[in-house]
Amino acid sequence: MQFPYVFVDGEFVALDDARLSVHANGLHYGTGTFEGIRAFWDGGAMWMLAAVDHYERMHRSARILGFQLGYSVQELVDASAQLVRKNEVREDAYLRPLLVLGTETLQVRVHDLKPRLSIAITPMGLNYIDPKGVRCMVSSWRRTPDLALPNRAKVTGGYIGPAMAKSEALRCGADEAIMLNMDGHVAEASTSNIFVRFGSTWYTPPLHDDILEGITRSELFALIDEVLHERVVERSIDRSELYAADEILLCGTAALVVPVISVDERAIGGGSAGERTLNLQRTLLAIARRQDPRHPEWTVKVDLSLSHRA
């Protein structure tokens, strides 16, 4: 089931009336950028997690690609809240802002073409990736280097590699793919960042190892310190370190925080979900629903008492 309304170029329209031409440039060449934002229902209110950070990243992505977003961060946050109200959402959901070149041209370029901005919303529970633990495989597909594709921008066309990697992993009997970069260092999973623990230190690849600068990743920097009282070091990670790790987790907006229980059929942490990872998972979820007093600045409340047009 999908919610009935979407936001398109400044207006709320019925889902079936939100159209993009089959000749649209973005459909053919992946010339677009997008975000994913979770909204949580706590039984009485809807809360959007890190909406400001996501729209700030979307602005940066648009800048890298040379597109005009056309809306301020605050306008996009407000439009997202309005969308939640308009659809009368009272469950956990996922907002999908998308900026795509809509002009009908065969020319491969990013300049002088009209971007179309939409925000769609769909129900989303907590099992985008199994929160109890995933079996990973190191993919034969590499993460594209920044020289070939700006990973810092969340580019629609950049997802063909992760899609191939994910399908390969599923075909091989795993749940998720871990991609190496062109230097052979661990980059990230298909749609999530990775943290690896040895003792009381967590390691995560630095931004220059061709990862997306994940917003959940930055939240975990804070929570590993505040909840686990352990430290995080950004440094390149070798493939064999994955096999030797005491604990590994994946994190992302859709994934949230997920324990890795094996890599290439080698058990991690004895083959069951790591306690620290589960603690981080619980804490982030409680913060997202405002059931934990930490980091209220990460969430924006959707005022459901306002009218649909507010």
Least distance from C-beta 192 to ligand PLP, angstroms?
A: 5
Distance of closest approach, residue 107 Cβ to ligand PLP, in angstroms: 28
- Residue 163 or 306 having the CB closest to ligand PLP: 163
Q: Minimal distance in Å, beta carbon 96 to ligand PLP? A: 11
Q: Which is nearer to ligand PLP, 26 or 252 (CB)?
A: 252
Q: Hey, what are 111's tokens?
A: 């300049």
Contact 203, 249 (CB under 8 A): no
The residues of the shown chain that bind ligand PLP, judged by CB under 6 A, are: 36, 162, 188, 191-193, 212, 214-217, 252-253
How far CA 55 is from CA of 9, 11, 59, 77, 95, in Å, comes to: 16, 18, 6, 8, 11
State which residue, 8 or 220, has the beta carbon closest to ligand PLP.
Answer: 220
To the nearest whole angstrom, how small is the minimum distance from the Cβ of residue 147 to ligand PLP? Answer: 17
Q: Residue 213, Cβ neighbours under 10 Å: how many? A: 14
> Could you give the CA distance from residue 284 to residue 122 in angstroms, rounded to a whole number?
21
Q: The tokens of 106 are what?
A: 């065969």
User: CB of residue 143 vs ligand PLP: minimum separation in angstroms?
Assistant: 8
Q: Which C-beta is closer to ligand PLP: that of 15 or that of 149? A: 149
Which residue, among 239, 281, 236, has the nearest Cα to 263 in the 3D structure?
239
Give me the least distance between CB of 21 and ligand PLP, in Å please: 26
For ligand PLP, give the closer residue by CB, 12 or 216: 216
Q: What does the chain come to in residues? A: 310
**Among residues 252 and 259, whose Cβ is nearest to ligand PLP?**
252
